[in-house]
């Protein structure tokens, strides 16, 4: 009987606490949304990395020449590379 009472008590405490914590999380979330909208309304644009990416994709002319020579040798001059991309 004592255990039953203790577990019932724990149920009341437990469920009340879990509900309270999640209610607080909900209202905290709402508060944060309002706060962020007020103090930091602009989302920072991600830094333009496209140029860096394309720059890093540029293949060294010497390497390109070497690749073309290899292809030419392997295909007896019938083929050549039109585009070389770094993967």
Number of separate helices (H) and strands (E) present in the chain: 3, 0
Closer residue to another protein in complex, CB, 40/55: 40
Closer residue to another protein in complex, CB, 49/87: 49
What burial class does residue 2 get, using C-beta atoms within 10 Å of its C-beta: 0-12 exposed, 13-18 middle, 19+ buried? exposed
Region near another protein per CB under 8 A, out of 16-24, 57-65, 68-76, 78-86: 16-24
CB of 2 to another protein, least distance (A): 10
Region near another protein per CB under 8 A, out of 27-35, 50-58, 60-68, 73-81: 27-35
- Cβ(60)–Cβ(84) under 8 Å? no
Tokens of 84: 């070389």
Segment holding 4, helix H or strand E? helix 2-39
Residues that bind another protein (CB under 8 A): 3-4, 6-8, 10-11, 13-15, 17-26, 28-30, 32-33, 35-37, 40-44
């Amino acid at each position: 009987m004592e255990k039953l009472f203790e577990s019932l008590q724990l149920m009341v405490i437990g469920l009340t606490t879990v509900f309270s914590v999640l209610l607080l999380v909900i209202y905290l979330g709402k508060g944060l949304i309002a706060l962020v909208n007020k103090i930091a309304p602009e989302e920072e644009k991600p830094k333009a990395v496209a140029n860096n990416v394309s720059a890093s994709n540029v293949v060294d002319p010497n390497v390109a020449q070497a690749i073309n020579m290899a292809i030419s040798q392997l295909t007896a001059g019938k083929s050549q590379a039109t585009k070389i991309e770094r993967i």
